Amino acid sequence: MGFEESEEQLLSKVATNGGHGEKSSYFDGWKAHDRDPYHPTENPEGVIQMGLAENRLSHDLMEKWIRKNPAAASICTEEGISQFRAVANFQDYHGLPLFREGVAKLMEKVRGGRVKFDPDRIVMSGGATGAQETLAFCLANPGDAFLIPVPYYPAFDRDFCWRTRARLLPIHCHSSNNFNITSSALEAAYLNAQKSNIRVKGVLITNPSNPLGTTMDERTIRTLLSFTNNKRIHLICDEIFSGTVFKPPHFISLSEIVESDPEFDRDLVHVVYSLSKDLGLPGFRVGVIYSYNDEVVACARKMSSFGLVSSQTQHLLGSMLADEEFTSNYLAENARRLKERHGVFTDGLRRVGIRCLEGNGGLFCWMDLRSLLKKATLEGELELWRVIVNEVKLNVSPGSSFHCAEPGWFRVCFANMDDETTERALRRIRLFVNGEIEEVEEKKAKKKKNRLAEGLRLSLPRRFEEEMVMTPRLMTSPHSPLVPATI
């Protein structure tokens, strides 16, 4: 993250220090998709986007609600315009009461009603992204660190560290125990920081985990709480995927444990939430900090001026979330659809011998491709990843972009596409894993040679499989040394 000193530097050092993390394979995969995006009719051979943790499975439910409630949904329609002036003017950084109440109710519902949330503790932010930065700003000085279990969501480097200059230090987790966090790993991470003279201000966890798609059990949450309490450091839990849990074990929130046990110091506990995943609304930029610490609430609220949720969005969501029948049905139906899609996807993978970490939440699977690595190294992982992006034409994200130290794991998202695209993605994987692509390619190569010898012209392919066959540039197998140099 070093930056060059130069008198001619026009931008600030922070702005140019690379802290955004854009130069990673995680974002490179997105760029590959942007250059050649799959479309069922216009570009059927394009890259299918499986690197985006978006939930597009239940938008129809929301559209239905909006159609039924036009006045509540928008101040820019004939039905809603009477509210225009009041809503357009509203800019109180506490947020509309109806909105905060609605978010608090939703958080309760997602947690099965086992815990209550006080609307007055809800601080708005521009998505969970803004919430994370605000917390880092409130809790850490430049150079201070938060411990974080690896693998973790890559953009935390940007959100937590870029502008605040805080650091993230890894808590090493391993596939041997399904990447669970252990006390010894926590202690080791803390000790490492001490040895390097780095002040640890807290632990940052994500539950359900991105990229693992698993939920944390009560014992682990208690271990984390005891650890952070004993060290007098903060515990931040990003619960952005809490409403995506689609099968047992059910989701257990940090809030439930904290509220049920007076042993734990609440001043050290902070929860981050957002509507980007559970409600599939990342464009609305609705994030929330729920801190049990009054000072943090006050400071974060002042900071929230930088990322308030637009009052029109608050107006719509306040009304929608007040409709409890709707939210209950939405959450149940959304979980059902996620479960179904997860089942279809993991079954498809299993049929070709690919296993995933057993997941019960999130919008992705943590796929084990270790057996496909040519070399069991991070370089070998990237080599395989390039083949998958460039040749199989699927943008999946390599484990190394999530800081995973064990090569061969990939995150693959399954909720941002329709059924047909899912089937197509599975078919591509099947062809790739079964080596059918290679076999056909070999045959084709021979045929091509013969044809050329005969002076025959080749016609252009139309279907994906044929495209794979006909384009030698795209046909390197994971075991081939001919991996393209870029992305």
Report in angstroms how near the CB of residue 285 gets to ligand PLP at its nearest: 7
274 binds ligand PLP (CB under 6 A): yes
Rank residues 286 and 389 by Cβ distance to ligand PLP and give the closer one: 286
Question: What is the nearest approach in angstroms of ligand PLP to the Cβ of residue 284?
Answer: 9
Q: How many CB atoms lie within 10 A of CB 92?
A: 9
Active site residue 238: yes
Site string for ligand PLP, 150-189 (x = CB under 6 A): ---x------------------------------------
* Binding window for ligand PLP (CB under 6 A); candidates: 109-117, 124-132, 169-177, 448-456: 124-132
DSSP 255-312: HHHHHH-TTS-GGGEEEEEESTTTSS-GGG-EEEEEES-HHHHHHHHHHGGGSPPPHH
Q: Which is nearer to ligand PLP, 205 or 297 (CB)?
A: 205
Are the C-beta atoms of residues 358 and 143 closer than 8 Å to each other?
Answer: no
287 binds ligand PLP per the rule CB under 6 A = yes
Is residue 127 near ligand PLP by the rule CB under 6 A? yes
Query: What's the closest the beta carbon of residue 433 comes to ligand PLP, in angstroms?
Result: 27
| Closest residue to ligand PLP, based on beta-carbon distance | 127
**Among residues 84 and 137, whose Cβ is nearest to ligand PLP?**
137
Alpha-helix runs per DSSP H in 55-123: 59-68, 70-73, 84-89, 97-110
Question: In Å, how far from its chain's centre is CA 207?
Answer: 11
Q: Write the DSSP symbol of residue 209.
A: -
Query: Is-contact 226 338, C-beta < 8 A?
Result: no
Pairwise CA distance, residues 251 & 415, whole Å:
19
Do the Cβ atoms of 128 and 274 come closer than 8 Å?
Answer: yes
Of the pair 152, 464, the CB lying nearest ligand PLP is at 152
Binding of residue 240 to ligand PLP (CB under 6 A): yes
Q: Does 53 bind ligand PLP (CB under 6 A)?
A: yes
Residue 206 interacts with ligand PLP (CB under 6 A): yes or no: yes
- Out of 49, 58, 129, 395, name the contact with ligand PLP by CB under 6 A: 129
Tell me the residue type at 331.
Answer: L
The one catalytic residue among 26, 38, 153, 292: 153
The CB-of-126 to ligand PLP minimum distance in angstroms stands at 7
Q: Find where tokens 């309760």 sit.
A: 108
Shortest distance in whole angstroms from residue 45 CB to ligand PLP = 28
- Amino acid at position 67, single letter: R
Measured from the CB atom, the residue of 335 and 363 that comes closer to ligand PLP is 363
**How many angstroms separate the CA atoms of 330 and 380, rounded?**
42
Retrieve residue 253's tokens.
Answer: 């929130």
273 has catalytic annotation: no
Cα separation, 17 vs 3, whole angstroms: 5
The C-alpha torsion from 346 through 349 and 351 to 356, rounded to 10°, is -70
Q: Which of 238, 239, 278, 406 binds ligand PLP (CB under 6 A)?
A: 238
- Residues with catalytic annotation? 153, 238, 240, 277
Chain residues in the site for ligand PLP (CB under 6 A): 53, 127-129, 153, 206, 210, 238, 240, 274, 276, 282, 287
